């Protein structure tokens, strides 16, 4: 899914889920409605840091997403919320 397609979905309030999958030792990818976010070259868009993922999503207008992270061989899931007021981000 390209950035322009994501913006269209957001404009139509058609985004059902935003999930980030990855590991601090590798990279993170974003899935929107189950589809992987792609670069302009139609390759899977990968992010080195979770902060970069959050900044990208905020730029698009997404402030809530779930994170599925593998750490020490164990899978963990959390919901994250980007505070658009400039305060600290929260994870639940």
Q: So what's the pLDDT on residue 85? A: 57
The total number of structural domains in the chain stands at 1
Domain assignment present for 63: yes
Residue span of the structural domain in which 80 resides:
3-84
Number of Cβ within 10 Å of residue 87's Cβ equals: 7
Statement: residue 89 has pLDDT above 70? no
Q: Buried b vs exposed e over 32-41: b needs ≥16 C-beta within 10 Å?
A: beeeebbeee
Domain assignment present for 89: no
Q: So what's the pLDDT on residue 83? A: 66
| The model's pTM | 0.79
Dmax of the chain from CA atoms?
39
CA atoms within 13 A on the CB side of 44: 14
CATH of the domain at 67: 3.30.2180
Tokens read off for 5 = 């397609």
Quick one: pLDDT band at residue 75, thresholds 50, 70, 90?
confident
| DSSP code of residue 56 | H
Domain assignment present for 46: yes
Name the residue among 78, 69, 1, 7 with its Cα closest to residue 40. Answer: 1
pLDDT tens column, 8-61: 999 999 999 999 998 878 899 999 999 999 999 999 999 999 899 999 999 999
Domain assignment present for 91: no
Q: So what's the pLDDT on residue 81? A: 72
């Amino acid at each position: 899914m390209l950035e322009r397609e994501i913006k269209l979905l957001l404009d139509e309030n058609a985004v059902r889920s935003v999930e980030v999958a990855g590991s601090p030792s590798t990279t993170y990818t974003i899935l929107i409605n189950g589809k992987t976010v792609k670069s302009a070259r139609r390759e899977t868009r990968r992010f080195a840091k979770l902060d970069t993922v959050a900044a990208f999503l905020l730029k698009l207008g997404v402030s809530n997403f779930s994170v599925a992270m593998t750490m020490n061989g164990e899978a963990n899931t959390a919901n994250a919320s980007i505070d658009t007021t400039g305060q600290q981000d929260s994870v639940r």
